[in-house]
Amino acid sequence: MYEPLNFKKEEKTRESTLNHKNSPLFIAVEGPIGVGKTTLTKLLTKELQASCLKEIIEENPYLKKFYENIEEYAFQTEMFFLCNRIKQLEDAKEQKLDQGVSVVADYSIIKNLIFAELTLKPDHFQKYEKVFEILTKDLPQPDIIIYLYGDLDLLMKRIALRDRSFERNMSRDYMEKLSEAYHRYFYPNTVKTSSHDFHTSEEVFQTSPNHDPFNKPSPVIIPINIRDRDFVNQPEDVDYLVKKIVEISRQRRK
């Protein structure tokens, strides 16, 4: 029988485990557009009593034009996002993580590489990679990445329902390529380390040394098919994920 986690004793234990002065936890929720990153980030922030870090999207002045003409506006769009996210992560480190407060973000800086590789011309991407490496080497790296993914029809439906003006010209072909790119970074080139906590399609991974864009130690990756989980309407799904996060956090400090 399902037992909710919202008991005062367990909440105190969880808060003590995550918001540890010498070792706060940095969690990133990742996945393609429309997969539910921000929704899950808000839920986890509340459950874990952590600080919420949401990426700034609408302020990018090139975004609407980007979806109308990707080739023309890709470089400007990606550079704006890179600089903006670097500033956010620097602030999160100084104001939260360094003060012992755990952070849950609805992105990781690696998404910049994913989008840039997909949209930039090869010569531009090579230059971008060099800039990326220099500017991000001292940024905080997630301890855990929750990678959400789903089938293309579901993602396109969600994007249509939320009806953001700058997403209305987004093509199905672009979304298909984006989903494939996310999978290349976060799922297929990984090494299984545990499988007993989720459904058979939801296992815990460390990134493979053959495809590892992260600094060492690499983050733990939890891939979740959104078809199998309903974090909004099924609180046990959130509690299940919270238990896994707390377990990983405790193991990390041993």
Residues carrying an active site annotation: 106
For residues 250 and 94, give the distance between their C-alpha atoms in angstroms, rounded to a whole number: 23
Q: Tell me which amino acid residue 106 is.
A: D
Which DSSP symbol is given to 213?
Answer: -
Burial class (CB in 10 A: 0-12, 13-18, 19+), 12: exposed
Burial class (CB in 10 A: 0-12, 13-18, 19+), 10: middle
Cα Rg of the chain, angstroms:
18
The contacts of residue 23 (CB under 8 Å, 6+ apart) are 252, 253
Closest CA to 155 of 222, 53, 237, 225: 225
For residues 39 and 253, give the distance between their C-alpha atoms in angstroms, rounded to a whole number: 28
The contacts of residue 216 (CB under 8 Å, 6+ apart) are none
Q: Tell me which amino acid residue 115 is.
A: F
Helices and strands (DSSP H and E) totals, the chain = 9, 7
